[in-house]
Amino acid sequence: MATRAPKAPRTLCPILGRGWGRGLVLLAASLTAGCIPQGKATPEPRTFAHPTIVSLNPCTDAILAEVADTAQILAISHYSKDPRSASMDGRLASALPATRGTVEEVLALKPDLVLGSTFIDPATASAYKRLGLRLETLGMASTVEASRDQIRKIAALSGHPDRGEALIARMDSALAAAAPPAGSRPIHTVVWQSGGMVPGDGTLIADLLRRTGFANFAAARGLGQADLLPLERMLADPPDLILVAGQTAETGRGDDRVLSHPALDALKTTRRASLNPRLLYCGGPTLVAAAQRLAQVRNSFHTRPGGPSRLVERLSR
């Protein structure tokens, strides 16, 4: 009797999100998978001294690139290929393969370890387990201390804890260099994103502002993460400084009318400076660049004469 050829695994491809959008939505969406194979397909065992890894998140991409051997990194997230969303060095990102986060793509690479996030879709996490893939999830670091913990975990998982400590030392050195002079008055600052969105307390950028000599103006007025600060409220109760962290800051072409609204020129004692949106959400090496930029803005604020600042400077990392 003729035997039937085995059936190929079925695939379910539900829509699992709206894409990245901005900020936290971006991070959550980057970690969901589009397609989930049905059935067993256990990866073949490997004999590498250190585990091979696929990262599904731009924040873990950046840390992994610092602590793992390049040969260990089978793929990073496709977001790290886009300069607008990448948190890692562009030259290294261009040299590494990337996936869009589907289970099929990851399974084909046969990694020893998949780095995802607590935002990952439960069905996707279940599929990884069923298919014999080890998944480690990490939350989004909302403080400097949480970023240190995350670095240590990723470094330990990659088999290079010493490199994790070296990255933490770099991060702590950058924070120490960016600390404000003793006794200086905090600069009341709004981090204003596209559409008037602001970060509240309990966010990494809020912790960084505090450590580098700024006071979170929006949080002090009861606004939380991703709340909106209307232009009218800004005009009625102006901060010392507006850190523009949106499309206008990124491109310099006035793409966001709110961020470049001429009414802001009426704020005679409020200054404006730019902050690359890529510096808002990730720890590790991104935190080093963010601390350096915030210190640069603070020093510029204190050394320039009074009056409104027209310096929405070119972005620096």
Decide if 2 is inside a domain. Answer: no
Q: Which residues of the chain have pLDDT under 50?
A: 1-43, 45, 47, 248-255, 307-317
- Please give the pLDDT value at position 305: 52
The span from the CA of 18 to the CA of 13, in Å, is 14
**C-alpha–C-alpha distance, residues 107 and 25, integer Å:** 25
Task: Kindly state whether residues 136 and 17 are assigned to the same domain.
Answer: yes
Q: What is the DSSP letter of 280?
A: S
Which amino acid appears at position 6 of this protein?
Answer: P
Q: Are 248 and 256 in contact (CB under 8 A)?
A: yes
pLDDT of 92 reads: 87
Tell me, yes or no, whether 136 and 189 share the same domain: no
Residues 196, 105 share a domain? no
Instruction: With respect to residue 258, please indicate whether it lies within any of the assigned structural domains.
Output: yes
Strand pairing partners for 98? 76
pTM confidence score:
0.79
19 and 123 assigned to the same domain: yes
- Paired with 190 in beta bridges are 242
> Are residues 111 and 195 both part of a single domain?
no
* Within a domain: 148: no
Q: Is residue 310 part of a domain?
A: no
Residue 301 contacts residue 241 (beta carbons within 8 Å)? yes
What pLDDT is recorded for position 302? 80
Same domain, 22 and 108: yes
pLDDT at 132: 94
- Torsion sign (Cα): 310, 191, 116, 101: negative
Number of domains in the chain: 2
Q: What is the pLDDT of residue 193?
A: 87
**Residue 110 is encoded by which pair of tokens?**
């046969």
Other beta carbons less than 10 A from residue 178's beta carbon = 21
Domain membership of residue 125 as a residue range? 13-38+50-140
- Please give the pLDDT value at position 30: 47
Quote the longest CA-to-CA distance of the chain. 92
Using DSSP's 3-state secondary structure scheme, residue 50 falls into: coil
Is residue 239 within 8 Å of residue 217, measured between CB atoms? yes
Task: Identify the CATH number of the domain in which residue 122 sits.
Answer: 3.40.50.1980
| Phi-psi group of 132: left, alpha or beta (phi > 0 → left; psi -120 to 50 → alpha; rest → beta) | left
- Please report whether residue 132 resides in a domain: yes
Q: Is residue 119 part of a domain?
A: yes
Can you read off the two tokens belonging to residue 303? 């050394």
